Structure 1
Amino acid sequence: MARERHDPVTGQMTTGHEWNGIEELDTPIPRVALFFLVTTALFALGYWILMPAWPLGVTYTRGLLGFDQREVVTRQVDEAAAARANWVERVMALDYAEIRADAALMEIVNEAGHALFGDNCAVCHGTAGTGGPGFPDLAAGAWLWGGDAGTIHETIRVGINSGHDETRMSQMMAFGRDGVLERDEVRAVAAYVRSLSGQDLSATEAARRGAGEEIFAENCASCHGEDATGMVELGAPNLADDVWIYGGDAQSVQASIHGGRQGHMPHWEGRLKPLDLKVLALYVGSLAAGGAGGEE
């Protein structure tokens, strides 16, 4: 049986309940708690009266204010569609130079392009477009097929070594694997190629450089050019800069020469709308330092 008594410390009555020597005080609920309970109840009652609240089968109570979230969302969607239609029409009607000259329009294009790039291109080229082993750095301005917006658009449209009927085709033969060059010749031309980008060569590489230059002229210049600056007509990269797709160290360059390279990029025609292709071309071109990749 519970026995109430005065707590000698607080002077409060106890409830008479005891747990292992611990007694419960009969303390009233704090006034502030009652205040918030009453306030919450009044707010709920007011909300039920003013706003849509209670379901009634196939309908619901509308509330005295007549507020309808569905109508608000529908209106916002219609407004967004109208705003989008305005810049979409302009992007499709203007050429690349005109679009780039319009700073406000380019801000919209870059925002849309960033989302498109993240959804479709970043998995290979990275979120910032800086690429990785086997995937070109789009922010470096070192373009395999040309960096004007029209050319970038075409590359995105048809892809590289893709299944598109008009795909860009590019392949570097396997000089070592196919027996065109001997192992020492592969090492020699690799040393020469590395020297073109100003890399420090080991003493052994430096001794091979002269022979590598002759081998390059006989076997590589037809695609990469006599000065090794590449040929956009063939998608052959510039070997005289410091931008490397597969790595510029001795081992990586030798591996490229020995086994050859054949990159692949899917075509996006039929997967993306014409507007998306154009927006992506403009955005990708703007990734290069100073936006140089997008100039006509």
Structure 2
Amino acid sequence: MSDHTEKNVDEVTGVETTGHSWDGIQELNNPMPRWWLWTLYATIVWGIAYTIAFPAWPLISGATTGVLGWSTRANVAQDIKAHDAKNGSLVEQLLTTEMDSLPEDPDLLRYAVARGGAVFKAQCSQCHGSGAAGFKGYPNLLDDDWLWGGSMDGITYTVRHGIRNETDDDARYTAMPAFGELLDKDQIRAAAEYVYSLSNDDAEPELAATGQQLYGEQCAACHGDTGRGDREQGAPNLADAIWLYGGDRETLIQTITYSRFGIMPAWGQRLIEADVRAVSAYVHGLGGGE
């Protein structure tokens, strides 16, 4: 008896088979093409060389650095440094120029607006929208309706210090009482009807007249006798039909009952001064700045 397993050879080609058969079709045991094998060996060698030369293997708190010390972070940092050096004179001008005087230098203004646009998209668009039109509770920066003023200096101050935050002692700050703790529901409904009447023609005259008296007693000190607001206090204009949370009756009643307390971060604590000034110039140039 032979010690070797008998080989299966295809009668037509004379090539040994693998022993596998599908519907009578034998699988030939042909060797792999040499070009394919050499390509495989080359990729293995390349992979080993790459992992030695470049960052490759993840570790617990980082990755292997590779003998060449190549780093995408270092390349980006180098590009940023080169960009900053190229625009160094413009940055210096931006830091030393009075914001309200910025429009007097067209080249500097163009640079500030271009830089500020990038800052806005990265830091501000999440709340104010990519087009700066805002959302409910987040101001529209295009409509020239500013609580504390829309001058270049005014916008810069707001960006730098923020609004009603607890991290900057110079933040813009104003607080409306929650009148639900001071007035009953009928009084609040009457006051809301008067406020509604300031920018709408379909208000109920008698209810609005009652609300006008309450408005004079409770609201005029901040919003003014005619409801035009007071920028020194950050009190909104109630007569211009521009509303941060909505100007329908139901929303006005809710606002008067519970008050509102929107917060904006102090970007002067998060951005470098050049970016604060640049994004302020960008916002001012959107069309709503004064």
TM-score for the superposition, normalised by structure 2: 0.71
Contact 2:91 2:274 in 1 (8 A): yes
Show the counterpart of 1:178.
182
Q: Which runs of 5+ in 1 are unaligned?
A: 62-68
Show the counterpart of 1:274.
273
Show the counterpart of 1:17.
18
RMSD value, Cα? 4.1
Counterpart-to-counterpart distance in 1, 2:237 and 2:260: 14
* Aligned with residue 199 of structure 2, among 193, 197, 200: 197
Question: Is the aligned partner of 1:110 residue 2:109?
Answer: no
Contact 2:222 2:235 in 1 (8 A): yes
Contact 1:12 1:27 in 2 (8 A): no
Tell me the amino acid that sits aligned with residue 282 of structure 2. Answer: Y
Counterpart-to-counterpart distance in 2, 1:84 and 1:141: 31
Relative to 1, partners in 2 of residues 1:72 and 1:190: Cα closer, same or farther, differing over 3 Å? Answer: closer
Q: Give the superposition deviation at 1:78.
A: 4.4
Relative to 1, partners in 2 of residues 1:13 and 1:246: Cα closer, same or farther, differing over 3 Å? Answer: farther
Q: Percent identity?
A: 34
Q: Give the superposition deviation at 1:237.
A: 0.8
Of 237-246 and 133-142, more deviation after overlay is shown by: 133-142
Contact 1:171 1:263 in 2 (8 A): no
Residue pairs, 1:111-130, within 5 angstroms: 111-130=114-133
Show the counterpart of 2:173.
169
Q: Give the superposition deviation at 1:105.
A: 3.9
Residue pairs, 1:167-246, within 5 angstroms: 167-179=171-183, 182-198=184-200, 205=204, 207-246=206-245
Counterpart-to-counterpart distance in 2, 1:206 and 1:27: 98
Show the counterpart of 1:85.
88
1:125-180 per-position Cα deviation (integer Å, ceiling 9, x unaligned):
3444333343322233211100011011112233333343333331112233223x
TM-score for the superposition, normalised by structure 1: 0.70
Residue pairs, 1:70-81, within 5 angstroms: 76-81=79-84
1:33-90 per-position Cα deviation (integer Å, ceiling 9, x unaligned):
69x949x89xx8xxx9xxxx969xxx979xxxxxxx9998786454222113132112
Counterpart-to-counterpart distance in 1, 2:77 and 2:146: 44
Q: Give the superposition deviation at 1:235.
A: 0.4
Counterpart-to-counterpart distance in 2, 1:250 and 1:70: 54
Counterpart-to-counterpart distance in 2, 1:229 and 1:190: 15
Tell me the amino acid that sits aligned with residue 188 of structure 1. Answer: A
Q: Give the superposition deviation at 1:94.
A: 2.8
Contact 2:136 2:246 in 1 (8 A): yes
Counterpart-to-counterpart distance in 2, 1:245 and 1:82: 42
1:238-271 per-position Cα deviation (integer Å, ceiling 9, x unaligned):
1122322222222211111122333333334444
Show the counterpart of 1:66.
none
Contact 2:150 2:284 in 1 (8 A): yes
Tell me the amino acid that sits aligned with residue 18 of structure 1. Answer: G
Show the counterpart of 1:144.
147
Of 187-196 and 130-139, more deviation after overlay is shown by: 130-139
Show the counterpart of 1:132.
135
Tell me the amino acid that sits aligned with residue 256 of structure 1. Answer: T
Contact 2:100 2:153 in 1 (8 A): no
Counterpart-to-counterpart distance in 2, 1:229 and 1:197: 11
Q: Secondary structure at the match of 1:186?
A: helix
Relative to 1, partners in 2 of residues 1:71 and 1:207: Cα closer, same or farther, differing over 3 Å? Answer: closer
Contact 2:165 2:171 in 1 (8 A): yes
Contact 2:193 2:207 in 1 (8 A): yes
Q: Secondary structure at the match of 1:176?
A: helix
Tell me the amino acid that sits aligned with residue 170 of structure 2. Answer: E
Contact 1:14 1:23 in 2 (8 A): no
Q: Give the superposition deviation at 1:30.
A: 7.2
Q: Which runs of 5+ in 2 are unaligned?
A: 55-65
Tell me the amino acid that sits aligned with residue 140 of structure 1. Answer: D
Q: Secondary structure at the match of 1:241?
A: coil
